């Protein structure tokens, strides 16, 4: 495999990661609702909006009709849809598209912040969204500076560390309680008792931190990234595996499939780094084989 | 330039997040979050509080302890004062997961009040009073509470002393906590100890009924689905988010002092059941679990809004969500209600207690104008299950007392026609975390003169027939953070077992209920008759029955289908049974059980009859 081909694969990892992340959130905003209520539906936000002469009922609705909040939360879906498409179409010199993708990243930051507030300001909730928040920026960096550029790679490493550190903190239950859904999904999928689940989460939580450290040690990087890609995919897949059922409408797909899709950065960023850090001799061997 | 653009965007993002964070932090400085910790206590204070009930001849008391240090005895004793001396009545080892000590004493004499104390070692003692069964009282007073938020943001951190004082002033016979005693989703034990520190002073001296609701179980909403594991954020897929062992600990703390469950088979994850009845002061209380068996809506009903449990589309077809197989109380509880409604031994009146009411009792949800057409967290859904529950309860003329809605209401429920089933009183929250309003878009029909537009005959969002008589709506725009602007408070129900009248009182916080100038929420107090709980407007009257004994039990059975229409204890020596027109009924009468047939073909408009039982 030539360096150019490999670079294309690296870029494809980032493109697909960003595309699926935005596409998943588009579904959430279209079909369900974005989690911004806690940011918008409060007195302090209204005090700011009121300066523009907007009445309370215009802002939150009359009761019989939607207000600005409901309308705009729904309209944000279009921005996510646009970002999904731009993730696939953006090219090296598409400055506007790149700017829009960075805007998409800001949207994701706002979303992660809202989720963080909604769960009583639990730090792991915000940082576990690192991969999702940063993947559009990493994609833009890869286009502007190159997929192997130091800034691109380090940002990807930071994104991965954020995601895995967030998950690890939650899995270990250190300072912030382990989300009960972690227990539920594990118990349902593995069909094991609570005590076993607790041990399992401690082990995988520790491994999350091994990944965060391993990424900084050249010798450990590749196996860590392989594990991270597989584990990131499995944890994303856990939602539908645990929740979907033949007895539900559409097998419950409308509730669960987007949960895998929007978590694409959790396994696409490690995959990008795994391919990036292929040993040169492997590349050469592949090139010879191709000839 | 490109790098500059990128940096500009990054700065913008930081400014956005920073500004939003500053807003939040500014708020946090004003109103810090409640800190839940398990305080370290002296050895002598290791017993936090104790809850009890007495049913016929069984005393069940659960002592709640702080963690016992390693190396110390785990044995806890229950002692009763007899002739000035403490006599050990029971001894148990404390259950370390949750530090509860559940006692059981058989052959209890409920005809006299007795002092008790829970003892640990030689230093720790906690005293209280097991009251005598107040069968000689005409009026049984039940003080009810729901939604015990402790967060400062909406006044939850203020003292509960006003609630304590008012219970003492009215000398309530029974305390009822309908749910959400605990709002912390991870630290039930710590929060339960705080609950005990806040309310132990009144709980220790009178029978107390606690029903753990969704927040007690550590989740925002609860459709228990017989103990399934929930894996969907929000839990609308049904089941429990927290592990079974956590739920077992919660139920052990809050319900192990209740009378034994009538059907004790466990559900999924080893979770127990506690639905049962408590007979106290000639009132028979059915203690129901309206969450435990209920089906989760996600994936079962067509999506009608931004959440699987919320219906935002007013044009939807209500019948489309009443899906086959969706459960509310479940067969086991319906069977229990059926038996309970027929059993009038030691009872003049019946009251059903559950977490929430059997209708969608609010239109606007949240801290602003969030209108929902219907909310599947309410017992208005599934409609078929709701109707089955009401059909069972009205057979015993049961009055319904519940909470959870964060909005006090009075409803008269209907199944086939308006006002053909029981009445319910939904309690206001102790501190109102989440505001709701009852605010129908169209005025109700058949309103009482001068009554607000939101009262009268209406349909809830599931097309259930309801008649509203009162709603303690909070103020609107934007909601204030003072307790009374958020319609916080508590309820008192006075059950007069002699006149058979039920009086509902709904009080705001920080009032003295004995002060003549103290005002209740608009629409309260309201007094109804026990017999209003099953008196459909379309019914007529059978001929008057005159008895040779006081207060016999009367049962009507459909002569054709042989189905029991109702069973009730008559008041005094005469009774005029209500019944549907155009049908014939078998009438059975007895002193405590209706075992004497007095008519095979009784019809509306029939002749009066004298019944001799002795």
- For residue B43, CA distances in Å to A246, B61, B122 come to 56, 21, 10
Between A68 and A271, whose confidence is greater?
Answer: A271
Which of A43, A46, A106 is nearest residue B12 as measured by Cβ atoms?
Answer: A106
For residue B355, give how far its alpha carbon lies from the nearest alpha carbon of chain A (Å): 23
- The predicted-structure confidence for B297-325, as pLDDT tens digits, reads as follows 999 998 888 889 988 877 889 999 999 99
Q: Tell me, which fold does domain B43-130 have in CATH?
A: Immunoglobulin-like (2.60.40)
Residue B158: per-residue pLDDT: 87
Q: Which residue of B has its CA nearest to A48?
A: B23
Q: By the 8 A CB rule, do B401 and B571 touch? A: no
Cβ <8 Å between A41 and B245 = no
Give the mean pLDDT of chain A: 91
Q: Which residues contact B346 (CB under 8 A, 6 or more apart)?
A: B56, B135, B279, B282, B284
3-state secondary structure of B461: coil
Q: In this model, does residue B10 exceed pLDDT 70?
A: no
Stretch B122-148: mean pLDDT, rounded?
97
Quote the percentage of chain B above a pLDDT of 90: 84
DSSP B33: P
Cβ <8 Å between A63 and B364 = yes
Q: Which residue of B has its CA nearest to A108?
A: B13
- The predicted-structure confidence for B509-567, as pLDDT tens digits, reads as follows 999 999 999 999 999 999 999 999 999 999 999 999 999 999 999 999 999 999 999 99
Residue A261: pLDDT band with limits 50, 70, 90: very high
Q: Regarding beta strands B609-611 and B545-547, do their DSSP bridges make them parallel or antiparallel, or are they unpaired?
A: parallel
Residue B352: pLDDT band with limits 50, 70, 90: very high
Q: Regarding beta strands B456-459 and B465-471, do their DSSP bridges make them parallel or antiparallel, or are they unpaired?
A: antiparallel
For residue B230, give how far its alpha carbon lies from the nearest alpha carbon of chain A (Å): 6
Cβ <8 Å between B231 and A144 = no
| CATH topology agreement for domains B43-130 and B140-534 | no
Q: Regarding beta strands B283-287 and B349-353, do their DSSP bridges make them parallel or antiparallel, or are they unpaired?
A: parallel
- The predicted-structure confidence for A18-42, as pLDDT tens digits, reads as follows 999 999 999 999 999 888 877 877 6
Q: Which residue of B has its CA nearest to A112?
A: B17
Q: By the 8 A CB rule, do B78 and B130 touch? A: no
Cβ <8 Å between A255 and B20 = no
For residue A280, give how far its alpha carbon lies from the nearest alpha carbon of chain B (Å): 30
Residue numbers of B between 410 and 429 with CB closer than 8 Å to A: none
B84/A contact by beta carbon, under 8 A: no
Q: By the 8 A CB rule, do B511 and B430 touch? A: no
Q: Where are the alpha helices (DSSP H) in B207-243?
A: none
For the segment(s) B140-534, the CATH number from 3.30.1370.100, 3.60.21.70, 3.90.25.10, 1.20.1050.10 is: 3.60.21.70
Between B491 and B476, whose confidence is greater?
Answer: B491
Q: By the 8 A CB rule, do B263 and B275 touch? A: yes
For residue A290, give how far its alpha carbon lies from the nearest alpha carbon of chain B (Å): 38
Cβ <8 Å between A110 and B299 = no
**Whole-number Å distance between alpha carbons of A283 and A279:** 7
Q: Is the dihedral of CA B436, B441, B444, B447 positive or negative?
A: positive
Residue B185 host element (H or E): none
DSSP B229: B
Residue B365: per-residue pLDDT: 78
Q: Regarding beta strands B174-177 and B208-210, do their DSSP bridges make them parallel or antiparallel, or are they unpaired?
A: parallel
Q: Which of A109, A181, A240 to mutate to test the interface with B (most CBs of B within 10 A)?
A: A181
3-state secondary structure of A244: coil
For residue A181, give how far its alpha carbon lies from the nearest alpha carbon of chain B (Å): 5
Size of interface A-B (CB pairs under 8 A): 126
Q: By the 8 A CB rule, do A137 and A104 touch? A: no
Q: By the 8 A CB rule, do A86 and A100 touch? A: yes
Give the mean pLDDT of chain B: 92
Residue B310: per-residue pLDDT: 87
Residue B462: per-residue pLDDT: 95
Cβ <8 Å between A43 and B478 = yes
Q: Which residues of A touch B307 (CB under 8 A)?
A: 32-33
Q: What are phi and psi of B561, to 5 degrees?
A: -85, -15
Cβ <8 Å between A121 and B24 = yes
Cβ <8 Å between A255 and B363 = no
Q: In this model, does residue B11 exceed pLDDT 50?
A: no
Residue B486: per-residue pLDDT: 82
Q: In this model, does residue B485 exceed pLDDT 60?
A: yes
Q: What are phi and psi of B554, to 5 degrees?
A: -115, 135
Stretch A52-61: mean pLDDT, rounded?
78
Which of B9, B241, B477 is nearest residue A102 as measured by Cβ atoms?
Answer: B9
Q: Which residues of A touch B364 (CB under 8 A)?
A: 63
- The predicted-structure confidence for B325-336, as pLDDT tens digits, reads as follows 999 999 999 999
Helix, strand, coil share (%) of chain B residues, nearest 5: 20, 30, 50
Q: Which residues of A touch B16 (CB under 8 A)?
A: 106, 109-110
Partners of B431 in the beta sheet? B148
Residue A62: pLDDT band with limits 50, 70, 90: low
Which of A61, A180, A185 is nearest residue B369 as measured by Cβ atoms?
Answer: A61
Q: Which residues of A touch B299 (CB under 8 A)?
A: 245, 247-250, 252, 255
For residue B42, give how far its alpha carbon lies from the nearest alpha carbon of chain A (Å): 27
Residue B226: pLDDT band with limits 50, 70, 90: very high
For residue A248, give how far its alpha carbon lies from the nearest alpha carbon of chain B (Å): 5
B69/A contact by beta carbon, under 8 A: no
Residue A66: per-residue pLDDT: 72
Stretch B148-161: mean pLDDT, rounded?
87
**Extents of the domains making up chain A:** 3-290
Residue B232: pLDDT band with limits 50, 70, 90: very high
Q: In this model, does residue B7 exceed pLDDT 80?
A: no
Q: Which residues of A touch B243 (CB under 8 A)?
A: 180, 183-184, 187, 194, 197
- The predicted-structure confidence for B73-118, as pLDDT tens digits, reads as follows 999 999 999 999 999 999 999 999 999 999 999 999 999 999 999 9
Residue B221: pLDDT band with limits 50, 70, 90: very high
Between B540 and B485, whose confidence is greater?
Answer: B540
**Whole-number Å distance between alpha carbons of B97 and A68:** 48
Residue A284: pLDDT band with limits 50, 70, 90: low
Stretch B258-273: mean pLDDT, rounded?
97
Confidence check on the interface: ipTM exceeds 0.90, yes or no: no
**Whole-number Å distance between alpha carbons of B390 and B312:** 26
Start-to-end C-alpha separation, chain A: 10
For residue A220, give how far its alpha carbon lies from the nearest alpha carbon of chain B (Å): 31
Cβ <8 Å between B229 and A63 = no
Residue B4: per-residue pLDDT: 46
Q: By the 8 A CB rule, do B602 and B542 touch? A: yes
**Extents of the domains making up chain B:** 43-130, 140-534, 540-611
For residue A227, give how far its alpha carbon lies from the nearest alpha carbon of chain B (Å): 24
- The predicted-structure confidence for B378-400, as pLDDT tens digits, reads as follows 999 999 999 999 999 999 999 99
Residue B28: pLDDT band with limits 50, 70, 90: very low
Q: What are phi and psi of A9, to 5 degrees?
A: -65, -40
- The predicted-structure confidence for B190-210, as pLDDT tens digits, reads as follows 999 999 999 999 999 999 999
Stretch A49-61: mean pLDDT, rounded?
79
Which of A180, A197, A255 is nearest residue B299 as measured by Cβ atoms?
Answer: A255
Residue A73: pLDDT band with limits 50, 70, 90: confident
3-state secondary structure of B308: coil
**Whole-number Å distance between alpha carbons of B203 and B181:** 13
Which of B218, B229, B478 is nearest residue A56 as measured by Cβ atoms?
Answer: B478
Q: Which residues of B touch A123 (CB under 8 A)?
A: none
**Whole-number Å distance between alpha carbons of B173 and B431:** 23
Q: Which residues of B touch A248 (CB under 8 A)?
A: 298-300
Q: Which of A34, A45, A48, A63 to mutate to test the interface with B (most CBs of B within 10 A)?
A: A63
Cβ <8 Å between A194 and B243 = yes
Which of B17, B243, B369 is nearest residue A109 as measured by Cβ atoms?
Answer: B17
**Whole-number Å distance between alpha carbons of B408 and B429:** 8
> Furthest-apart CA pair in chain B: how many Å?
104
Residue B321: per-residue pLDDT: 94
Q: Which residues contact B81 (CB under 8 A, 6 or more apart)?
A: B87, B114, B115, B116, B117
CATH number of B540-611: 2.60.40
Strands in chain A per DSSP E: none
Residue numbers of B between 9 and 48 with CB closer than 8 Å to A: 9-10, 12-13, 16-17, 20-21, 23-24, 26-27, 33
Q: Which of B231, B233, B324 to mutate to test the interface with A (most CBs of A within 10 A)?
A: B231
For residue B569, give how far its alpha carbon lies from the nearest alpha carbon of chain A (Å): 46
B299/A contact by beta carbon, under 8 A: yes
Which of B2, B9, B477 is nearest residue A144 as measured by Cβ atoms?
Answer: B2
Between B351 and B28, whose confidence is greater?
Answer: B351
- The predicted-structure confidence for A97-156, as pLDDT tens digits, reads as follows 999 999 999 999 999 999 999 888 899 999 999 999 999 999 999 999 999 999 999 999
For residue B134, give how far its alpha carbon lies from the nearest alpha carbon of chain A (Å): 44
């Amino acid at each position: 495999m030539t360096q150019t081909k490999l670079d294309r694969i690296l870029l494809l990892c980032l493109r697909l990661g960003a595309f699926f992340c935005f596409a998943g959130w588009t579904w959430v905003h279209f079909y369900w609702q974005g989690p911004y209520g806690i940011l918008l539906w409060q007195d302090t936000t209204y005090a700011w909006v009121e300066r523009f002469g907007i009445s309370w009922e215009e802002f939150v609705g009359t009761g019989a009709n939607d207000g600005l909040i409901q309308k705009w939360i729904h309209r944000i879906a279009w921005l996510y849809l646009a970002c999904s498409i731009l993730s696939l179409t953006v090219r090296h010199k598409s400055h506007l598209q790149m700017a829009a993708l960075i805007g998409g990243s800001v949207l994701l930051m706002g979303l992660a912040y809202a989720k963080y507030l909604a769960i009583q300001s639990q730090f792991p909730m915000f940082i576990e969204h690192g991969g999702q928040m940063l993947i559009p920026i990493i994609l833009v960096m890869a286009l502007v500076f190159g997929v192997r550029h130091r800034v691109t790679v380090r940002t990807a490493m930071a994104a991965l560390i954020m995601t895995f550190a967030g998950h690890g903190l939650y899995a270990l239950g250190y300072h912030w309680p382990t989300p009960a859904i972690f227990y539920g999904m594990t118990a349902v999928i593995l069909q094991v008792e609570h005590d076993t689940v607790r041990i399992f989460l401690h082990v995988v939580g520790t491994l999350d931190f091994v990944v965060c450290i391993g990424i900084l040690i050249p010798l450990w990087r590749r196996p860590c990234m392989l594990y991270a890609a597989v584990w990131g995919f499995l944890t994303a897949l856990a939602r539908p595996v645990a929740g979907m059922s033949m007895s539900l409408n559409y097998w419950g797909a409308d509730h669960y499939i987007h949960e895998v899709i929007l978590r694409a950065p959790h396994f696409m960023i490690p995959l990008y780094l795994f391919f990036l850090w292929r040993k040169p001799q492997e590349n050469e061997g592949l090139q010879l084989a191709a000839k | 330039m490109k790098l500059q653009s990128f940096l500009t965007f990054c700065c913008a993002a930081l400014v956005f997040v920073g500004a939003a964070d500053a807003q939040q932090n500014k708020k946090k400085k004003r109103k810090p979050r409640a800190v839940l910790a398990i305080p370290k206590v002296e050895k002598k204070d290791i017993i936090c509080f104790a809850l009890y009930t007495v049913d016929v001849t069984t005393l069940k008391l659960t002592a709640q302890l702080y963690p016992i240090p390693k190396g110390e005895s785990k044995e806890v004793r229950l002692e009763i004062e007899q002739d000035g001396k403490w006599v050990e009545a029971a001894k148990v080892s404390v259950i370390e997961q949750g530090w509860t000590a559940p006692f059981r004493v058989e052959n209890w004499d409920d005809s006299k009040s007795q002092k008790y104390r829970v003892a640990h070692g030689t230093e720790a003692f906690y005293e209280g009073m097991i009251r005598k069964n107040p069968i000689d009282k005409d009026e049984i007073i039940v003080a009810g509470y729901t939604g015990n938020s402790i967060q400062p943001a909406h006044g939850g951190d203020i003292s509960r002393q006003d609630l304590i004082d008012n219970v003492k002033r009215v000398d309530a016979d029974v305390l009822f906590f309908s749910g959400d005693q605990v709002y912390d989703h991870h630290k039930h034990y710590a929060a339960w100890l705080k609950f005990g520190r806040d309310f132990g002073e009144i709980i220790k001296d009178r029978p107390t009924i606690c029903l753990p609701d969704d927040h007690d179980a550590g989740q925002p909403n609860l459709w228990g689905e017989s103990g399934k594991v929930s894996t969907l954020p929000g839990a609308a897929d049904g089941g429990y988010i927290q592990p079974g062992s956590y739920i077992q600990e919660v139920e052990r703390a809050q319900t192990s002092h209740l009378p034994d469950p009538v059907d004790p088979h466990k559900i999924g994850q080893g979770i127990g059941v506690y639905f049962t009845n408590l007979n106290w002061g000639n009132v028979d209380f059915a203690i129901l679990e309206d969450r435990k068996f209920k089906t989760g809506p996600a994936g079962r009903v067509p999506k009608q809004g931004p959440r699987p449990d919320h219906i935002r589309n007013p044009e939807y077809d209500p019948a489309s969500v009443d899906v086959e197989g969706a459960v509310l109380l479940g067969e086991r509880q319906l069977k229990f209600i059926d038996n309970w409604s027929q059993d009038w031994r030691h009872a003049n009146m019946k009251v059903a207690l559950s977490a929430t009411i059997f209708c969608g009792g609010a239109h606007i949800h949240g801290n602003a104008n969030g209108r929902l057409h219907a909310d599947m967290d309410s017992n208005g859904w599934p409609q078929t299950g709701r109707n089955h529950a009401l059909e069972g309860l009205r057979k015993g003329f049961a009055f319904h007392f519940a909470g959870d809605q964060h909005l006090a209401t009075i409803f008269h429920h209907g199944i086939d026609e308006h006002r053909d089933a029981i009445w319910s009183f939904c309690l206001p929250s102790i501190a109102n975390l989440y505001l709701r309003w009852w605010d129908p878009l169209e005025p109700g029909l058949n309103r009482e003169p001068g009554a607000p537009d939101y009262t009268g005959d209406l349909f809830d969002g599931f097309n259930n027939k309801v008649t509203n008589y009162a709603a303690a709506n909070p103020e609107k725009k934007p909601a204030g953070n003072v307790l009374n602007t958020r319609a916080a408070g508590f309820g008192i129900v006075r059950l007069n077992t002699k006149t058979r009248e039920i009086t509902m009182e709904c009080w705001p916080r920080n009032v003295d209920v004995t002060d003549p100038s103290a005002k209740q929420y608009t629409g309260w107090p309201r007094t109804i008759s026990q017999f209003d709980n099953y008196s459909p407007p379309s019914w007529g009257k059978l001929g008057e029955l005159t008895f040779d004994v006081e207060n016999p039990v009367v049962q009507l059975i459909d002569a054709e289908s042989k189905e029991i229409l109702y069973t009730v204890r008559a008041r005094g020596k005469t009774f005029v049974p209500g019944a549907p027109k155009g049908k014939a009924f078998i009438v059975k009468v007895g002193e405590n059980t209706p075992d004497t047939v007095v008519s095979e073909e009784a019809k509306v408009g029939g002749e009066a009859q004298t019944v001799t039982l002795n």
